[in-house]
Structure 1
């Protein structure tokens, strides 16, 4: 049984919401970041990156303190306001390809610790600790953990009814997305949602394993503080999320010539040259490979006999058969020879990086499924790093949870 709660969110005033909210910080290149900071004084980027000119000259703790100071400046200037009532928020994101609707609420640290909230990814200790320190010093979180719940007809009907009313926010962004937010603060609606989620045996983290782990670590340090008993999540039906692959690019062939590399590949794969440049794998056990201006399809010759679903994951097969065995990449999380490109990006981006000499070879994958993610989480197994790029992604500065 999953426990969720309403909270008093901090959020932009309605007239400034489109100016305040931003993409995640790492979605901007240096030129874009500088442009937004120079020409938009209301951008939340001023909070999360307050020393963008001198950030290399200050230590991380000082930077986090500057984040806190700038955040409080935005509140003092009434750019950000705090809701007076405990609320949840219904949120719809309409992109060029999909529509995502879910509920913003507080989810329980206790559920996280007791595995009511299921995980499928490992975390890096240093990232968890750094993010914990960020939460502790800044005092807020604006990126919810993306959480999946099972399909439920009555909850879907409730959502459709709520969407008939006037939203709190309705705005568009420069990346051609449309956003709507409804404030849910009526006791009967909150009671319905609390009871509904209490009927779900488990929730599954789709994205945000480091954020949830950092919240749990912060709670362990100060368990007496009630607000730390929960962390903000975006709760969405498991059938409505979009799972993309993460494609891989590698700097070298581990001292193999291209001919040697292709011969080694033939031990495990049927190799076929592809003339269609925008081709992508259309089924499991199939991979794309770009090498020296040629694009190939790789079809696994023998499907793993093991019943362990981890051995059937395409990301795991690619690692075992190619990245580790042939290219000698040991740790996908730390090896500097490999990088990752989200599957929502055009495959041409990968081609360009290789043609420009930044990388030697690239691989495209078929996305994992919801069933695979849930199976791994249910059996306390973890996916290889960067196995999934999951949508939706959220606007920073739209709904803020204070610790």
Structure 2
């Protein structure tokens, strides 16, 4: 039984929404960030990256206060306005190859604690605490947790019919995506959605494990204050068939003292190796891996897949770690080892080739994407996937909808 609630959101005025909303802060290079801050005074980047932080070193506490101050400026200048009453939203992203549609709602911290909302990734405590402090001091969040639910004919029908109505936003972004937002504000629609989600036994976090963990930590810290907004966190709920799951590919700086020939010989103990020369080869199936080394591509076919039984052991990311990254290349900590970096699978394999050819990295591995069934099975068994196992879309635009605490 999954509980969702409408909430009194803060959002941009319709005439400025295309200027206000932005990609996630971490998605910008330093040069791109500076250009947007200089070019666009309405960008939400001014809120999440206060201008003075460019010119001086400041404490985290002062930075968070600067975020809150700039956020209040945006509200005072009527760049951002508040809803009159709690609502749900229907949000559609038309990307180049796929359209994503979901519901923006508040989801329950209690459901999260009781594992009705299930997780498949581990979190870093310092990141959880840092974002908790951010929420506590700024009093708002604009990046929802991406949560999947089992496909429902009834909900799909509701969404299809609702999309025929007049949206409150319809705008394009520089990356050629189209964004459309509808307000769901009648009591009958709100009741209907809540009743249908109550019939869903479990929800699954696709992206945003740190944000949901921070929301729980803030709730435990401040629940004595009686602020009911802390009982929920903003989520973007999307049918599980509508998410796009990419792999994270791995690039490693060295062969841990091994020669190329010795490394390939050791690989052959667990993989059938086929040379692909200059073919930009990517895995076509589970238990297949691509490798780029010394100017050539290789296809690696895992030999031992019939011997593994647990869902975790059968994950391609775990197989690569257990057979190559840890025992051969000496990488133990996938999160913090500076010898390994990650490239989202939506980027071309040629990016990996170029990085290795430039000499900073020595070998790269391409993985086959995990599917939603594997993610759910991992979560249902209270297991944790290896770090950087999935890169999941859609990605939400900052500043589109704000949940105030």
TM-score range, shorter chain: over 0.9
User: In structure 2, how many angstroms separate the alpha carbons of the residues matched to 1:267 and 1:52?
Assistant: 56
Mapped contact 1:6–1:106 kept (Cα < 8 A): yes
Deviation string, structure 1 residues 127-159 (Cα, Å, up to 9, x no partner)? 000010111111111111000111111111000
How far apart are the structure 2 equivalents of 1:276 and 1:180?
Answer: 42
Q: Deviations over 1:21-50 (max 9, x none)?
A: 001111111111111000100000001111
CA contact (8 A) 1:247 1:364 kept: yes
**Is 1:204 aligned to 2:204, yes or no?**
yes
SS for the counterpart of 2:290 is strand
Deviations 1:339-381 (A, max 9, x none): 1111111111111111112211111000011110000100100
Give the secondary-structure state (helix, strand or coil) at the position aligned to 1:73. helix
Q: Deviations over 1:42-65 (max 9, x none)?
A: 000001111465366111111111
What residue number does 2:393 align with?
391
Q: Select 2:319's aligned residue among 317, 320, 323.
A: 317
Per-residue deviation at 1:277? 3.3
DSSP-derived class of the 1:71 partner: helix
The count of aligned residue pairs is: 403
Equivalent residue of 1:239, what SS? helix
How far has the Cα of 1:305 moved from its partner? 1.8
Q: In the alignment, which of 223, 227, 236 is matched to residue 234 of structure 1?
A: 236
SS, match of residue 251 in structure 2: strand
Query: Contact conserved, 1:55 with 1:63, CA < 8 A, in 2?
Result: no
- TM-score for the superposition, normalised by structure 1: 0.98
SS of the counterpart of 1:296?
strand
Q: Indicate the SS of the match to 2:189.
A: helix
Residue of structure 1 equivalent to 2:121: 121
Structure 1 residues 137 and 370: alpha-carbon distance in aligned structure 2, compared to 1, 3 A threshold: same
- SS of alignment partner, residue 331 of structure 1: coil
Counterpart CA distance in 1 for 2:163 and 2:349 is: 36
Identify unmatched segments of 5+ residues in structure 2: none
1:321 alignment partner, SS class: helix
Decide whether the 8 Å contact of 2:53 with 2:63 is kept in 1. Answer: no
Counterpart of 2:356 in 1: which secondary structure?
helix
The residue aligned with 2:163 is: 163
Residue aligning to 1:377: 379
Q: Deviations over 1:102-135 (max 9, x none)?
A: 0000000000000000100110000000010111
2:296 corresponds to 1:282? no
What is the DSSP-based 3-state SS (H/G/I as helix, E as strand, rest coil) of the residue aligned with 2:38?
A: helix
SS of 2:301 mapped into structure 1: strand
| 1:304–1:311 Cα contact (<8 Å) kept | no
Unpaired segments of 5 or more residues in structure 1?
Answer: none
Structure 2 Cα separation of the partners of residues 337 and 68 of structure 1: 37
Mapping for residues 1-400 of structure 1, pairs under 5 Å? 1-51=1-51, 54=54, 57-223=57-223, 224-275=226-277, 277-400=279-402
**1:166 aligned counterpart, secondary structure:** coil
SS of the residue 1:15 aligns to: coil
SS of the aligned residue for 2:297 comes to: strand
Q: CA deviation at 1:275?
A: 3.9
**What is the alpha-carbon distance in structure 2 between the residues aligned to residue 136 and residue 366 of structure 1?**
39
Q: TM-score, normalised by structure 2?
A: 0.98
Q: Give the structure 1 partner of residue 404 of structure 2.
A: 402
User: Where does structure 1 differ by over 4 angstroms across 4 or more consecutive aligned residues?
Assistant: none
Q: Is the 8 A contact 2:280 2:297 kept in 1?
A: no
Give the alignment's Cα RMSD to 1 decimal: 1.0
How far off is 1:19 after superposition? 0.3
The 3-state SS of whatever aligns with 2:305 is coil
